[in-house]
Amino acid sequence: MKLFDNTEIAFKLKSDSELERAYFLFKMIQNQPMVRIGTAVTNFALKAHLPVEGLIRSTVFDHFCGGVTEDDCLPNIEKMYEKGNVHSILDYSVEGKEDEAQFDDALRMTLKTIEFAKEKNSIPFAVFKPTGFGRFALYQKLTEGNSFTDEEQKEWEKVVERYHVVCKAAVEKDVPLLIDAEESWMQDAADDLIEELMELYNKDKAIVFNTLQMYRHDRMEYLKGLYQRAHQKGYHIGMKVVRGAYMEKERARAEEHGYESPICKDKQATDDNYNEAIRFMMEHKNMAIFAGTHNEESSYLLMELANEYKVSSNDTRMWFGQLYGMSDHISFNLAQQGYNVAKYVPFGPVRDVMPYLIRRAEENTSVAGQTSRELNLLKTEKKRRKL
């Protein structure tokens, strides 16, 4: 039996009724028209302030989110840690905000999660999104090489200030900080800023982590260039490596604006790109990797590489990560083998977290095989429990 086939370990924290709910949910998600209709109806219901939050909460929200507040998440976090040796990362998943007060809120929330992580062994990282700290349009303008107005310059300085505030707190509390990646047409501005922060704050080890989306065919080149620069200047690289979450959007925009799509030509090219990145990171010194993946092959590869380069399974420079509510067969079986594993646990008010949840559902329907794999594992476990 292969490591990830053990459903008893994978689902040991789920009661029979939670197992049934998960099965029902993935059955729904498997149906593409159903996801589209459900998304439209949900959006309408929330905009019209219809009383649907309870229904959302008891189904999709409770499966993919830890709770409404960080305190809500704690029972789940402690249970996963104490019973499954799986860590958690609190992810304040409120998206698409546009004003200064909301950016300051996100900053406060991130500082709070750094405090939480400092106090709890079960929470090894803090995380935030670039657009949590500043307007998308600002990053885009900078990425496209356009100059700011005086007003925008002041606004950007505030964004940069927020980054420094969290990075200083992270260094002081010794809590590594993951910074998510977003759409390609704003990402260069975030990359440049994060690189400056790495140079400043990653002197002794990786505290500031950027994110590489390996469905982009230019990311390997970027990683190699970054490594050269870090090597020359003598700082550590922290990198979360993921496949990526905006594929349809990226392709549609490239077509609409008439430029070459930044996305790899197919799934195989993305997989190869991802595996090349983790191979490169394990081969080179002064790099810490957070492998965010739901892919069994990439997970096995990282285990093999760790073995090859004599990196112990619990070395803090190597982490595996999956999303809460997905791929428990990878998370819990890896943790059982003594590897560092963390679940991304999203939280926030139900209506504010909906864009995140909708993206999860759409991603599950668009990634071939992901939903049917979850269903097969759940089915196997249901059968095992009956016997």
Kindly report, residue by residue over 119-155, the tens digit of the pLDDT.
Answer: 999 999 999 999 999 999 999 999 999 999 999 999 9
Q: Residue 27 contacts by C-beta under 8 Å, 6 or more apart in sequence?
A: 375
What does the pLDDT read at residue 381?
A: 97
Q: How confident is the model at residue 245 (pLDDT cuts 50, 70, 90)?
A: confident
What does the pLDDT read at residue 25?
A: 87
What does the pLDDT read at residue 94?
A: 75
Instruction: Give the pLDDT mean for 105-127.
Output: 96
Candidates 83, 135, 34, 32; CA nearest to 332 is: 83
Using DSSP's 3-state secondary structure scheme, residue 10 falls into helix
Q: How confident is the model at residue 90 (pLDDT cuts 50, 70, 90)?
A: very high
What does the pLDDT read at residue 368?
A: 59
What does the pLDDT read at residue 365?
A: 63
Residue the block writes with tokens 């990560």: 321
Using DSSP's 3-state secondary structure scheme, residue 180 falls into coil
Kindly report, residue by residue over 28-58, the tens digit of the pLDDT.
Answer: 888 777 777 878 888 788 788 888 888 888 8
pLDDT at 331 over 70: yes
Using CA atoms, how far residue 182 sits from 46, 89, 103, 188, 384, in Å, is: 25, 18, 16, 10, 40
Q: In terms of C-beta density within 10 A (0-12 exposed, 13-18 middle, 19 or more buried), how is residue 348 classed?
A: buried
Kindly report, residue by residue over 353-379, the tens digit of the pLDDT.
Answer: 888 887 777 766 666 578 889 999 999
Kindly report, residue by residue over 181-238, the tens digit of the pLDDT.
Answer: 999 999 999 999 999 999 999 999 999 999 999 999 999 999 999 999 999 999 999 9
Mean of per-residue pLDDT scores for the chain: 93
Lowest mean pLDDT, pick from 59-68, 79-88, 325-334: 59-68
Extended strands (E) in 85-152:
87-92, 126-128
The C-alpha atoms of residue 61 and residue 40 are separated, in whole angstroms, by: 16
Q: Which structure tokens are listed for 118?
A: 């400092």
Lowest mean pLDDT, pick from 59-63, 78-82, 157-161, 213-217: 59-63
* Residues 134/103, Cβ–Cβ less than 8 Å: yes
Instruction: Give the pLDDT mean for 288-314.
Output: 97
What does the pLDDT read at residue 35?
A: 75
Instruction: Give the pLDDT mean for 94-111.
Output: 88
Percent share of the chain, pLDDT over 90? 79
pLDDT at 78 over 70: yes
The C-alpha atoms of residue 380 and residue 357 are separated, in whole angstroms, by: 26
| Distance from chain centroid for Cα 2 | 26
Secondary structure in 3-state letters for 213-234: ECCECCHHHHHHHHHHHHHHHC
Kindly report, residue by residue over 258-285, the tens digit of the pLDDT.
Answer: 999 999 999 999 999 999 999 999 999 9
* Residues 13/335, Cβ–Cβ less than 8 Å: no
Sheet-wide strand order for 341-347: 87-92, 341-347, 318-323, 287-292, 237-242, 208-213, 177-179, 126-128
Residue the block writes with tokens 């960080």: 70
What does the pLDDT read at residue 356?
A: 80
Q: Which structure tokens are listed for 376?
A: 């097969």
Helix (H) or strand (E) holding 275: helix 267-283
The C-alpha atoms of residue 15 and residue 222 are separated, in whole angstroms, by: 45
CB atoms within 10 A of CB 94: 22
Amino acid of residue 200: L
| Distance from chain centroid for Cα 170 | 18
The pTM score is 0.94
Q: In terms of C-beta density within 10 A (0-12 exposed, 13-18 middle, 19 or more buried), how is residue 150 classed?
A: exposed
